[in-house]
């Protein structure tokens, strides 16, 4: 059984230090063998929720022009609170 997606996002950030949202979503989509805009947006919502809960921080942003549409991108880093919650829930060893 695979880890829940928010847990996967947190553990991936803990191993990497910091990653852009598109890097995190790409890794998660590969891990869970998922594709499509709906799944990508679901992961971006999960990142927003983790950020709103204080488990991760947005440390950088940039605007990317993608043809007709521009996208606001965020670089994320695990917060100290996120680390302590991961330890409390067993996602990270102390």
Q: Model confidence at 94, in pLDDT bands (50, 70, 90)?
A: confident
| Residue 51 contacts residue 57 (beta carbons within 8 Å) | yes
The verdict on residue 90 lying in a domain is no
Is residue 28 one of the residues assigned to a domain? yes
Task: State pTM to two decimals.
Answer: 0.92
Q: Give the per-residue pLDDT at 66.
A: 80
How many alpha carbons lie under 13 Å from residue 11 in its C-beta half-sphere?
16
pLDDT band at 88 (very low <50, low <70, confident <90, very high): very high
Residue 26 inside a domain? The answer is: yes
In a domain, 50, yes or no: yes
**What is the model's pLDDT at position 2?**
83
- The per-residue pLDDT for 1 is 77
pLDDT digits (tens, 9 = 90+) for 52-86: 999 999 999 999 988 888 999 999 999 999 999 99
Domain that holds residue 76: 5-83
Is residue 89 situated within a structural domain? no
Residue 46, in any domain of the structure: yes
What's the pLDDT tens digit per position in 24-36?
Answer: 999 999 999 999 9
Is there a domain that residue 94 lies in? no
Q: Give the count of domains, the chain.
A: 1
**What are the residues facing 70 on neighbouring strands?**
65
State the CATH number of the domain containing residue 45. 1.10.10.10
**Assigned domain for 36 exists:** yes
| Whole-number Å distance between alpha carbons of 70 and 62 | 10
- Distance (Å, rounded) from C-alpha 28 to C-alpha 45? 13
């Amino acid at each position: 059984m695979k880890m829940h997606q928010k847990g996967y996002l947190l553990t991936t950030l803990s191993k990497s230090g910091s990653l852009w949202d598109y890097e995190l979503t790409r890794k998660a989509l590969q891990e869970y063998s998922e594709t499509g805009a709906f799944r990508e947006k679901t992961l971006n919502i999960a990142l927003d929720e983790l950020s709103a809960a204080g488990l991760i921080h947005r440390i950088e942003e940039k605007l990317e022009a993608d043809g007709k549409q521009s996208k606001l991108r965020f670089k994320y880093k695990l917060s100290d609170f996120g680390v302590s919650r991961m330890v409390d829930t067993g996602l990270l060893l102390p």
